[in-house]
Amino acid sequence: MSIWIKDTLLVTMDPQQPVIHGGHLVVTGDRITHVGAEPPSALEQERCQRIIDGHRTLALPGLINAHSHIGMAPFRNYGSDLPLETWLFDKLFPMEDKLTADDVYWASQLSMTEMLRTGTTTFADMYMFSDTTADVVAKVGMRADLARGLQCFTDDVDLATDTRVQEALQLWERYHNSAAGRITVRLGPHAVYTCRPAYLEAVAQLAADKDLGIHIHLSETQKENSDCQAAFGRSPSEHLAELGILRRPTLAAHGVHLSDQDRRLLSQFDTAVVHNPGSNLKLGSGVADVPGLLEAGVTVALGTDGAASNNNLDMLQEVYLAAVLSKGVFHNSVGVTAQQALELATVQGARALGRPDLGQLRTGMKADLLLIDLDQPHYYPLQDPVAAVVYAGQGSDVLLTMVDGNILYERGAYSTLDIEHIQWQMERLTEDLFQRP
């Protein structure tokens, strides 16, 4: 299938030609085959089965949500206004014990409707019943990097009998590089405060043996840092480096409380910090020093975290927060610029996931993109397209979302998801879930 998007405003994230007014983009199969101010050749035009009139639309590379727990959708709007520890240990963990694969099946679908509706094409997820989520990803057509969440509170470690680790290995065997390469798998030790050191060491060794990356929470709260310091005499970053975790390509979610020394340490490894401004604000955890991380040379991606602590999966909202928060908190009108904020959700997200074929609208890249409807009051006058998307844009402005060359969402309609049925199932299962003993 070839698709020609004509006369659109291309925000490519490609430094060679960052913004193209009245531009043209052609997708052939799963790749972008033409990007430019000039229309495609007559021969290319002839091959296109569909032409999309892009007048008053803005095209962006698909947004990458680098930290989520999409199976948490049933806990949206539950346990609000609590600190992280209370929220997690007293509210979330007991309810999560009651979750079934069926709950995660519908929660995954609901989350995907929301992500596609707001322009997200790829997400990195850590949760339970990840095989169920993988099946949904394969069916729906999104791109995902999945990790079965791991935790261990005892010192006698035997990964061979650890059911979570065994599920993680099955996930890797069955799904890594599956669905035409749209699904990848990594190991997901939850955090330093939910995984004993011997366990983290064993998980790091397993990741090295299987050549897998890691997805972990890092320095989300001040308490995580002070507890780690008291127990092990080092910061969580130093702890993970010491235990071998950081020797693997690592997605480190949050990084709210990092010292200069931690930032320098992280910059020496293939570690990407995933900034989750909405979740960090809501749980009162603080604000990550994104300018400091970027200055230290650390890759910084962007994520929503779960719908229980955000409470939505709208990446444009996170882009906005990333851009304004650093200015307000650090009293710096430059802080994270609009361009940098958009990079966190695109090129930097792609780098964090080790995907050089994502994050830009450029010939040869994977055809993951979105179109924004510029015919909205908040886009007049347009002036600077990047500032318009970052400071005035909203997830609901997304007209069309494409993954791997397939249009999965367009003007309220989904090609692979039944939104009404999914919403009905979510109401049903959530009512049931909260009544379970």
Binding site for Zn ion (CB under 5 A): 305
Q: How far is the CB of 300 from Zn ion (least distance, A)?
A: 16
Residue nearest to Zn ion (CB): 305
Q: What angle do CA 265, 268, 274 make, to 5 degrees?
A: 75
Min CB(278)–Zn ion separation in Å: 12
> Considering beta carbons, is residue 262 or 305 the nearer one to Zn ion?
305
CB of 116 to Zn ion, least distance (A): 21
* Of 304 and 430, CB closest to Zn ion: 304
Tell me whether residue 60 or residue 187 sits nearer to Zn ion (CB atom).
187
Q: How far is the CB of 123 from Zn ion (least distance, A)?
A: 12
Nearest to Zn ion of 113, 304 (CB atom)? 304
Task: Report, in Å, the least distance between residue 305 CB and Zn ion.
Answer: 5
Task: Give the integer Cα–Cα distance in Å for 24 and 8.
Answer: 6
Token pair recorded at residue 239: 């702890």
Comparing CB distances to Zn ion, the nearer of 11 and 253 is: 253
Query: Between 238 and 305, whose beta carbon lies closer to Zn ion?
Result: 305
Q: Taking the complex as a whole, how short is the minimal distance between the CB of residue 280 and Zn ion, in angstroms? A: 10
